[in-house]
Amino acid sequence: MSDSLPQPAIAPDTYTERYFLEACAGHELGAQSGGRELDPRYAGTLELAHLAPGETLVDVGCGRGELLVAALAAGAASAIGVEYAAAAIELAQRTIDAHGAGARARVLHADARALPLSDGEADLVTMLDIVEHLAPDELDRALREALRVLRPGGRLLVHTLPNRLIYDVTYRLQRRAWPPRWRAWPRDPRNAYEHDMHVNEQRVGSLRRALRRAGFDAVRVRTGDWIHDEFVPDPRARRLYRRLAAHRLTASLGAADIWGHGRRGR
């Protein structure tokens, strides 16, 4: 990793093997199978990104490496993972080996702010569930790096969760709506990992501005369809999130995740 960068907001050794095996999305199937089985969400993500046969994928913050082998199975010519956590490097290589991906998949130990890749090397760059772990200035730099390594016309796909509005607006209003909740419900419902690692949770508007600020064209940002309501103490109160997510005008108050798309201009 580059020694010239400022120290990251979250130290790499914060991300332990236990975190990747017990907390990251898709961990249930990946951990149980030793990386040999893939959660279907990875194939779905590549469909959403319109990965085409023969393309090169760069997955920034590749974690356990499942997206790399899923991309090869979908016809990618090569798949490159970038990780700055040593624990993830080992797990990703284990996944690559379990699928016999060979030289077509590789993992680089590097920082998202300084990708050790050539200009225009990638057709598709993915950043799945990492932008909330990057401070605002780190995110800006990482997005500019993603733009740099894309070929003209190449695409970026971003996924982030949680959408901060479900905590900062919906939950807060629910808690205030009935005074006894103030005593029974925690002031901040985030879990320990979120408190330790989330330094830049997004809203639809903030992610859209970040993509445009980095120089991406054809920017589209929207809420996803994941409902996260387990943090709400009252089961009856949880129903609100699904109802809000079902309507376009209120979706950002109920849906837990956000997708962002961008393109490098020609």
Residues 150-202: pLDDT tens digits?
A: 999 999 999 999 999 999 999 999 999 988 888 899 999 999 999 999 999 99
* Exposed e or buried b per residue across 217-247, where buried means at least 16 C-beta atoms within 10 angstroms of its C-beta: eebebbbbebbbbebbeeeebbebbeebbee
Q: Tell me whether residue 243 is in a domain.
A: no
Does 250 map to a domain? no
Is the pTM for the entire model greater than 0.85? yes
Any idea what the CATH number is for the domain that residue 122 is in? Answer: 3.40.50.150
> What domain count does the chain have?
1
183 in any annotated domain: no
Within its chain, how far is the Cα of 249 from the centroid? 24
Residue 35 has pLDDT above 90, yes or no: no
User: Is 239 a domain residue?
Assistant: no
Which pLDDT belongs to residue 181? 83
Interval 37-88: pLDDT, tens:
788 999 999 999 999 999 999 999 999 999 999 999 999 999 999 999 999 9
Rounded Cα gap, residues 82 and 108, in angstroms: 5
Residue 167 maps to a domain: no
The candidate with the shortest Cα–Cα distance to 202, out of 249, 160, 262, is 160
- Is 90 exceeded by the pLDDT of residue 30? no
In a domain, 248, yes or no: no
187 lies in some domain: no
Domain range for 102? 12-161+198-227+257-263
Best CA proximity match to 204, nearest among 242, 143, 251, 238: 251
Res 1 pLDDT > 60: no
Query: Residue 110 falls within a domain, yes or no?
Result: yes
